[in-house]
């Protein structure tokens, strides 16, 4: 049994943890170190629930001191923001893989004063920069402009007259390649300028805190590191029965080179990758057919958003689709014959149809790139190719035990296969190896599909939220706003779109936000930051937005929500206010910022205050 007590001196708090089964531990922490931004709320208040009522304050019913004391200890352990170089190792941190995740981790490690090396067997930037989100955005920028210029009605509504729009395929392809090259060079230069050692070759784990690297055919070098991060990313997943030739049957890696623009192309899979390429190909003149194994298109999106997106992104365009079918065999075009695709019913496995088209793009997701990493040397077995990790990205071995000083981030662990998620995970790991406990809240990480209009989301979909509510015994509400009511959207003649929020009406917690409309990918971050910081609707609804801007779509979304309790401060802020109150009370009572009554009313933390007073 543990308890937490706080005492103060003129310059710091002392957090004392008393245990019946062990020694007493005390940790000093100054007020300016109490920064909880980016920490998942459960890391501080795990197991605590607030009473649900319509009153202006809710009392904290429990407070798990073990996790809180760890966080306070971590915050105080590295107050100067710089770690000392660990002796006895070649590096403080070695990162295997220089994609967006590895790059983000390396930059943060340097900021923390860690001697860092990054191993890359290909080129800096990984999938995102070289074969993914960066070059695809270049192609989508072209498709967006082509789509606008080709829309005669849209242009006439502005009073503009535009001659027939055309494009140079090679010029479009060069734009994508040039962008990837520029970003890749920027990332490489940033690593070099900060003193990160870029080690060229294939890296693998030799044993605890040991890594080897080298090029094929050359001798390998073994180095040691206090901590190791695996950030090897992923590759396109190609189902059995699909023969990829890189010309007529292609993956996203090939499609980004835009070597051809086929008249008719089948896209297998209607997720993010498939939708974005359908936007590109149809804008450049191709006819597209989706082949989707599930019963509906865009299965990963909120169903309501998916239906609206289908009416705008698919139905009016040269796109048809087959749902509930598998492509069991795809044969490339040979000797004048077209690409042949055999379809079967996903449930009965009976033959359904055969398609003969000019090309096929396999957009069935991505598979982790985790072979040849020497995981057997530390007794780690992959699960469906993914490296198992806990919530802190620490690698778990075949016995279910943590492998000391070994972490895995990004696509290789399968938690969230997004470039920015990999970077966030890498930063979280660096915080931990620097002595600060940090748990990343993956529900606060946004995702976006860069079609025209765009789709973005963060948190739970409506079905996921309803399932969670039923399991945990609370109710949910839905708020919606339309782009048709937004001045800026109407000025751009881009009124198609909605924003949708799923939330708890009893306490104002935001469970999920989904946006379909102009610049949705940019608008989602106000919601994702609110979830990350634990901000409640009754707090954020008073934020001011410039007029006229698209951000007012989100402003109206928050304002339209109906929350029964109108007063709320996020748990992290409540806790820091209580500590600030106690600090002022015991050291400079005449300058106390908050009175007892203030804290009872606005923070709802009477239980903790009473504990501090006694």
Residue 524 predicted with pLDDT over 80: yes
Per-residue pLDDT band for 153 (boundaries 50, 70, 90) equals confident
Alpha-carbon distance of 369 to 334, in angstroms, equals: 31
- Residue 393: pLDDT over 60: yes
Q: What is the pLDDT of residue 595?
A: 43
The residues, any chain, with a CB within 8 Å of residue 273's CB and separated by 6 or more, are: 252, 363, 365
Q: What pLDDT was estimated at residue 77? A: 39
- Residue 310, number of CB atoms within 10 A of its CB: 17
pLDDT at site 182: 95
Query: How many angstroms separate the CA atoms of 159 and 498, rounded?
Result: 27
Q: Quick one: which of 179, 176, 188 has its CA closest to 107?
A: 188
| Count of all residues that appear for the chain in the document | 614
**Is pLDDT at 135 greater than 50 in this prediction?**
yes
Distance (Å, whole) CA 332 – CA 50 = 60
* Residue 268 near residue 339 (C-beta atoms within 8 A): no
Q: What is the pLDDT of residue 53?
A: 38
Give the pLDDT confidence score for residue 14 in this predicted structure.
42
Instruction: Give 161-208 pLDDT, tens digit per residue.
Output: 888 889 999 999 999 999 999 999 999 999 999 999 999 999 999 999
Question: pLDDT confidence of 365, banded at 50, 70, 90?
Answer: very high
- DSSP readout, 116-143? EEEEESS-TBHHHHHHSHHHHHHHHHHH
Residue 289 has pLDDT above 90, yes or no: yes
Mean pLDDT over each residue of the chain, to the nearest integer: 84
Please say if the pLDDT value at position 98 is more than 90: yes
To the query of whether residue 547 is one of the catalytic residues in this protein, the response is yes
Q: How confident is the model at residue 123 (pLDDT cuts 50, 70, 90)?
A: confident
The pLDDT score that the predictor gives to residue 75 is 36
Q: What is the pLDDT of residues 319-330, one digit of tens each?
A: 999 999 999 999
Model confidence at 603: pLDDT above 70 = no
| CA 53 vs CA 289, 511, 566, 568: distances in Å | 52, 19, 10, 12
Beginning with the edge strand found earlier in the chain, give each strand of the sheet holding 498-503 in spatial order: 447-449, 454-459, 510-517, 498-503, 477-482
- Looking at the predicted structure, is the pLDDT value of residue 130 above 70? yes
pLDDT-derived band of residue 340, with 50, 70 and 90 as boundaries? very high
pLDDT of residue 585: 52
Beta bridge pairs of residue 497: none
Cβ atoms of 435 and 77 within 8 Å: the answer is yes
Say what the pLDDT of residue 400 is: 96
Least confident of 74-88, 153-167, 302-316, 488-502: 74-88
* pLDDT at residue 41 in the model: 37
Which residue is catalytic, options 108, 438, 547, 614? 547
Instruction: Give the pLDDT band (50/70/90) at residue 573.
Output: low
Q: Supply the pLDDT for residue 586.
A: 55
Nearest-angstrom CA–CA distance, 184 and 496: 35
- Give the pLDDT score at 584: 58
The domains located in the chain, with CATH, are 91-235+367-434 (3.50.50.60), 249-364 (3.50.50.60), 443-560 (3.30.390.30)
Q: Is the pLDDT of residue 413 over 90?
A: yes
Between 492 and 152, whose confidence is greater?
Answer: 492
- Mark 182-206 as b/e (b = at least 16 C-beta within 10 Å): ebbeebbeebeeeebbebebbbbbb
483 vs 77: CA distance, rounded Å: 48
pTM of model > 0.75: yes
pLDDT at 398 over 50: yes
Q: Tell me the average pLDDT across 468-483.
A: 97
Which of 593 and 473 is assigned the larger pLDDT? Answer: 473
Kindly report, residue by residue over 223-261, the tens digit of the pLDDT: 999 999 999 999 999 999 999 999 999 999 999 999 999
Question: Using an 8 Å Cβ cutoff, are 226 and 89 in contact?
Answer: yes
Q: Dihedral through CA 36, CA 39, CA 419, CA 274, nearest 10? A: -120
Of 449, 263, 253, which is closest to residue 361 (Cα–Cα)?
253
What is the DSSP secondary-structure string of 154-192?
HHHHTT---PPP---HHHHHHHHHHHHHHHHHHHHHHHH
Give the span between the Cα atoms of 395 and 406, in whole angstroms. 6
Residue 388 pLDDT exceeds 60:
yes
Distance CA 110, CA 105 (A): 9
């Amino acid at each position: 049994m543990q308890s937490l007590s706080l005492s103060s001196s003129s310059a710091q708090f002392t957090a004392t943890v008393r245990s019946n089964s062990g020694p007493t531990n005390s940790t000093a922490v100054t007020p300016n170190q109490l920064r909880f931004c980016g920490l998942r709320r459960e890391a501080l208040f795990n197991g605590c629930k607030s009473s649900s009522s319509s009153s202006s304050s809710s009392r904290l019913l429990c407070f798990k001191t073990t996790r809180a004391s760890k966080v306070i200890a971590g915050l105080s352990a590295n107050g100067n923001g710089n770690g000392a170089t660990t002796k006895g190792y070649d590096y403080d941190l070695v990162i295997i893989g220089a994609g967006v995740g590895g790059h983000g981790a390396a930059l943060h490690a340097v900021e923390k004063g860690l001697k860092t090396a990054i191993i890359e067997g290909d080129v800096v930037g990984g999938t995102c920069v070289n074969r993914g989100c960066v070059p695809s955005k270049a192609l989508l920028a072209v498709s967006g402009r082509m789509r606008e210029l080709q829309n005669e009605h849209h242009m006439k509504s502005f009073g503009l007259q535009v001659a027939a729009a055309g494009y140079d395929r090679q010029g479009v392809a060069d734009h994508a390649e040039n962008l990837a090259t520029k970003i890749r060079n920027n990332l490489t230069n940033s690593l070099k300028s900060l003193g990160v050692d870029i080690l060229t070759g294939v890296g693998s784990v030799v044993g605890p805190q040991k890594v080897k690297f080298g090029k094929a055919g050359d001798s390998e070098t073994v180095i040691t590191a206090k901590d190791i991060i695996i950030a090897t990313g992923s590759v396109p997943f190609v189902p059995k029965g699909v023969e990829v030739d890189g010309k007529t049957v292609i993956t996203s890696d090939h499609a980004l080179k835009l070597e051809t623009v086929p008249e008719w192309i089948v896209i297998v899979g209607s997720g993010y990758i498939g939708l974005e390429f359908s936007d590109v190909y149809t804008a450049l003149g191709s006819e597209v057919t989706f082949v989707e194994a599930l019963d509906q298109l865009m299965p990963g999106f909120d169903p309501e958003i998916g239906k609206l997106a289908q009416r705008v992104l698919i139905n009016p365009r040269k796109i048809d689709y087959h749902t509930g079918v598998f492509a069991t065999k795809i044969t490339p075009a040979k000797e004048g014959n077209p690409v042949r695709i055999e379809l079967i019913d996903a449930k009965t496995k009976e033959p359904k149809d055969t398609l003969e088209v000019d090309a096929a793009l396999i957009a069935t997701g991505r598979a982790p790139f985790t072979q040849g990493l020497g995981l057997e040397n530390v007794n780690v077995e992959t699960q469906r190719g993914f490296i198992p990790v806990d919530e802190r990205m620490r690698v778990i071995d075949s016995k279910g035990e943590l492998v000391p000083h070994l972490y895995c981030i990004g696509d290789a662990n399968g938690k969230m296969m997004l470039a920015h998620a990999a970077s966030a995970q890498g930063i979280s790991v660096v915080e931990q190896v620097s002595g600060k406990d940090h748990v990343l809240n993956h529900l606060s990480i946004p995702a976006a599909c860069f079609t025209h209009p765009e789709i973005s989301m963060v948190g739970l979909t409506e079905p996921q939220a309803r399932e969670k509510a039923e399991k945990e015994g609370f109710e949910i509400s839905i708020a919606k706003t339309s782009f048709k009511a937004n001045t800026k959207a109407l000025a751009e003649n881009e009124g198609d779109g909605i924003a949708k929020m799923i939330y708890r009406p009893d306490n104002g917690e935001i469970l999920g936000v989904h946006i379909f409309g102009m610049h949705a990918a940019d608008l989602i971050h106000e919601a994702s930051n609110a979830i990350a910081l634990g901000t409640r609707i009754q707090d954020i609804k008073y934020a001011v937005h410039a007029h006229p801007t698209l951000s007012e779509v989100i402003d109206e979304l928050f304002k339209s929500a109906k929350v029964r309790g109108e007063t709320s401060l996020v748990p992290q802020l409540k806790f820091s206010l209580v500590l600030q109150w106690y600090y002022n009370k015991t050291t400079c009572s005449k300058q106390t910022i908050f009175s007892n009554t203030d804290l009872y009313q606005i923070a709802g933390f009477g239980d903790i205050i009473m504990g501090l007073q006694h």
